[in-house]
Amino acid sequence: MSTAAASREEPNVEPVTIGTEAFTSAEYAKAEGVRLWPRVWQHACRVEEIPNVGDFVVYDILDDTILIVRSKPDKISAFYNVCAHRGRRLMSGCGHASHFHCRYHAWQYDLEGENIRVLDKEDWGGALAPERLRLREVRVDTWGGWVWINMDPDCEPLREYLEPAASMLDPFQLEQMRYRWRQWGYFDCNWKTAMEAFIESYHVEGTHPQLLKYAEFYTWSQSDGWHSHHGFKERDPSLSTSQSNTIVRAGRGADARVSIADLQEEVFRTVNASTTRTFVDAAARLVQELPEGTPPDRVMAHFLESARRDDAARGVRWPDIDPDHYARSGIAWNVFPNLSIAHGYTFALCYRARPHGHDPDKCIFEASVLERFPQGGEPKTEWVFAEPTDVQKWRSVLIQDFANMSEVQRGMKCRGFRGTLPNPRQEQPVINFHRNLARYMGTGAPRPLK
Ligand code: FES
Ligand SMILES: [Fe+2]
């Protein structure tokens, strides 16, 4: 977006309130289709989905439809997915094509969007200029292993838009990860209600109480221009971010060897993400490998070292990340507007929510789990549809998150609700999201709480 400059100020911890218009108003939802979505960078698919020339993915956002294609071995192109003749949507879903063929009157386009066939072209008497016939281009770029599109031809470059999130997350080499699983569904809430369930950890005590026996989830949070992130924090202010990160991740049990193993096992079983089999197995050995009474920071260092070694032995190389950087990068990012990334050394749990039509009470929600695999050991995955109540497919922790979404959506419409009260220290991502959304929308900025 060329007109609005992202803020780089220090976190503003002044308490604020945010109105409900952005979540519940049909007019606001409609306006997003004009002011937000056509002007913002959006991740459309993973690069891994289009490895070969001719592989394509269609990305739909409200009324707009975009065709993303690997047009050359080293080039990804994006076009409006609409036939120049009478406006039929050209392609759907994903697949492979040598060229794009419109199924209405058989016009054709090559992978670079040039029209290569008009049936009975002479009937136009030479009036059809190639420029008028070609598919209209959309700005496209890649970062983190995702393909990003922006419908605004004057938008700022993707890299600039993503900073400082891009530089903070680059060391994790998300582009080296591949899908482990990916699921989607239609949810009964606004897309923002869904996103906000995953950009703070203040909700853990209320929503995931079963996790409290393993660790305390007090967090810091920070606004980063368009984006934001949060991470673990001990309540003791004398501890550095790095020390806090280690202590919290070591768990709250008296014996860190046991609490690390228990937490890894619980997360693997109930989230099916945010850890890997390697971590679970390395954690399970801690009791045999270390003497009782080993201090938590030593247990944590040993745990990471043996997981790193196990992965190396099976051909999975860890990125080298400075521990301070790791701590400062936190546990999850909101990349404005609708990507949430909970990252680790060899994995990431990502969420996306998009509007479903112009109904403010509906969205398309997607979760994708990325992991580093040995070369050639990447699983073949597809998008799997799952109802928001399907605990078999989503596992229990996400089902707990989902249960809040529709209840929040309904609650916010109640005439007795006076606007949200996000936690100024732990829910900065929620506040910053609305501050930035208001820059696009021209309305609805968080207001100081008097
Ligand atoms: S609409 Fe595509 S060929 Fe007629
Ligand atoms: Fe949660």
For the stretch 176-189, pLDDT in tens is 999 999 999 999 99
Q: Are 19 and 77 within one domain?
A: no
Which of 82, 105, 135 to probe ligand 1 with, by most ligand atoms within 8 A of CB?
Answer: 105
| Rounded-to-integer distance, Cα 280 and Cα 261, Å | 7
Better-scored residue on pLDDT, 246 or 305: 305
Q: Are 243 and 331 within one domain?
A: yes
* Alpha helix ranges (H) inside 183-285: 191-196, 204-207, 241-250, 256-270, 277-284
Q: Is the pLDDT score of 7 beyond 60?
A: no
Q: Are 29 and 135 within one domain?
A: no
Residue 129: inside a domain: yes
Q: Classify strands 447-448 and 16-17 as parallel, antiparallel or unpaired.
A: antiparallel
- CA of 280 from ligand 1 middle (Å) equals 54
Q: Are 241 and 150 within one domain?
A: no
The residue contributing the CA closest to ligand 1 atom 1 is: 86
User: Is-contact 294 259, C-beta < 8 A?
Assistant: no
User: Phi and psi dihedrals of 182, rounded to 5?
Assistant: -150, 130
Query: For 82-91, 154-163, 212-221, 317-326, which range has the lowest pLDDT when averaged over its residues?
Result: 212-221
Number of domains in the chain: 2
Which of 65, 107, 109 to probe ligand 1 with, by most ligand atoms within 8 A of CB?
Answer: 107
Q: Is the pLDDT score of 10 beyond 80?
A: no
List, for residues 120-159, the tens digit of each pLDDT value.
Answer: 999 999 999 999 999 999 999 999 999 999 999 999 999 9
Residue 413: inside a domain: yes
Q: Is the pLDDT score of 227 beyond 60?
A: yes
Residue 273: inside a domain: no
Q: If you search the block for the tokens 């909970």, which residue do you land on?
A: 342
- In which domain, by residue range, is 78 found? 42-154
Q: Is the pLDDT score of 8 beyond 50?
A: no
Q: Sorting pLDDT into bands at 50, 70 and 90, what band is 89?
A: very high
Q: Are 348 and 425 within one domain?
A: yes
Q: Is the pLDDT score of 299 beyond 70?
A: yes
Q: Are 141 and 180 within one domain?
A: no
Q: Which ligand has an atom closest to residue 396 CA?
A: 2
Laid out side by side, the sheet with 227-232 consists of 219-224, 227-232, 332-335, 339-343, 347-355, 363-371, 178-187, 384-385
- CA of 128 from ligand 1 middle (Å) equals 14
List, for residues 29-85, the tens digit of each pLDDT value.
Answer: 999 999 999 999 999 999 999 999 999 999 999 999 999 999 999 999 999 999 999
Q: Are 245 and 185 within one domain?
A: yes
Q: Are 209 and 247 within one domain?
A: yes
Q: Is 144 exposed, middle or buried (0-12, 13-18, 19+ CB in 10 A)?
A: buried
Which are the contacts of 448, defined by CB distance < 8 A and separation ≥ 6? 14, 15, 16
Q: Are 55 and 128 within one domain?
A: yes
Cis (ω within 30 of 0) for the bond into 337?
yes
The residue contributing the CA closest to ligand 1 atom 3 is: 105
Residue 373: inside a domain: yes
Looking up residue 240, the CATH number of its domain turns out to be 3.90.380.10
User: Is-contact 373 316, C-beta < 8 A?
Assistant: yes
Q: Sorting pLDDT into bands at 50, 70 and 90, what band is 3?
A: very low
| Rounded-to-integer distance, Cα 402 and Cα 351, Å | 12
| 126: number of Cβ within 10 Å | 7
Q: Are 31 and 76 within one domain?
A: no
Better-scored residue on pLDDT, 239 or 223: 223
Q: Sorting pLDDT into bands at 50, 70 and 90, what band is 5?
A: very low
User: Phi and psi dihedrals of 328, rounded to 5?
Assistant: -70, -25
- CA of 439 from ligand 2 middle (Å) equals 28
pLDDT at site 12: 61
Looking up residue 66, the CATH number of its domain turns out to be 2.102.10.10
The residue contributing the CA closest to ligand 1 atom 4 is: 105
Report residues whose beta carbon is within 6 angstroms of any ligand 1 atom: 83, 85-86, 88, 102, 104-105, 107
Q: Are 209 and 241 within one domain?
A: yes
Q: Are 10 and 140 within one domain?
A: no
List, for residues 232-288, the tens digit of each pLDDT value.
Answer: 887 777 777 777 777 777 777 789 999 999 999 999 999 999 999 999 999 999 999
